[in-house]
Structure 1
Amino acid sequence: MTTLRQSLYGLALLAALAGLLYIQHQRVEIAQGATQLATERAQTAEQQSAAHLQTITKLTAALDSERIAQQQLQTQTAGIRQQLRTSQQQIEELKRENEDLREWADTQLPAAARSLRTRPAITGAAAYRDWLSRRNAMHPVPNAAADQRSPAD
Structure 2
Amino acid sequence: MTRLTAALVILGLVILVTWALWQRSTAAEARADLAEQRLAESQQREAQHQMIIDSLWDNARRQANQRRALAKQQAALTRIASNRLATIEELQRENQALRAWAGTRLPDAVIRLRKRPAVTGAGAYHQSVRDPQPLQPARE
**TM-score (ref. length: structure 2):** 0.69
- Mapping of residues 61-72 of structure 1, within 5 Å: 61-72=58-69
The root-mean-square deviation of aligned C-alpha atoms, in Å, is 3.3
1:98 and 2:95 matched: yes
Corresponding residue SS for 1:119? coil
What residue number does 2:109 align with? Answer: 112
Following superposition, the deviation at residue 15 of structure 1 comes to: 5.5
Following superposition, the deviation at residue 18 of structure 1 comes to: 4.8
What residue number does 2:136 align with? Answer: none
- Mapping of residues 1-153 of structure 1, within 5 Å: 7=5, 18-117=15-114, 118-119=116-117, 128-137=121-130
Following superposition, the deviation at residue 95 of structure 1 comes to: 1.7
Following superposition, the deviation at residue 31 of structure 1 comes to: 1.6
Q: Counterpart of 1:104 in structure 2: which amino acid?
A: W
Q: Alignment length, in residue pairs?
A: 131
* Cα deviation digits, residues 82-136 of structure 1 (max 9, x gap): 00000111111112222332233233433321222321796xxxxx212212323
* Cα deviation digits, residues 13-52 of structure 1 (max 9, x gap): 7656655543443232222111111111112222232233
Corresponding residue SS for 2:117? coil
Bigger relative contact order, structure 1 or 2 (CA pairs below 8 A, ≥6 apart): 2
Following superposition, the deviation at residue 54 of structure 1 comes to: 3.0
Distance 1:98 1:109 in 2: 19
Distance 2:119 2:50 in 1: 45
Q: Counterpart of 2:110 in structure 1: which amino acid?
A: A
Q: Counterpart of 1:86 in structure 2: which amino acid?
A: N
Q: Counterpart of 2:117 in structure 1: which amino acid?
A: R
Mark the runs of 5 or more structure 2 residues left unpaired by the alignment: 133-140
Distance 2:30 2:53 in 1: 34
Residue 120 to residue 110, structure 1, CA distance change in 2 (3 Å): same
Following superposition, the deviation at residue 66 of structure 1 comes to: 2.7
Q: Which moved more, 1:37-46 or 1:84-93?
A: 37-46
Q: Counterpart of 2:73 in structure 1: which amino acid?
A: Q
Identity %: 27
Residue 13 to residue 111, structure 1, CA distance change in 2 (3 Å): farther
What residue number does 1:151 align with? Answer: none
Give 1 or 2: higher helix fraction.
2
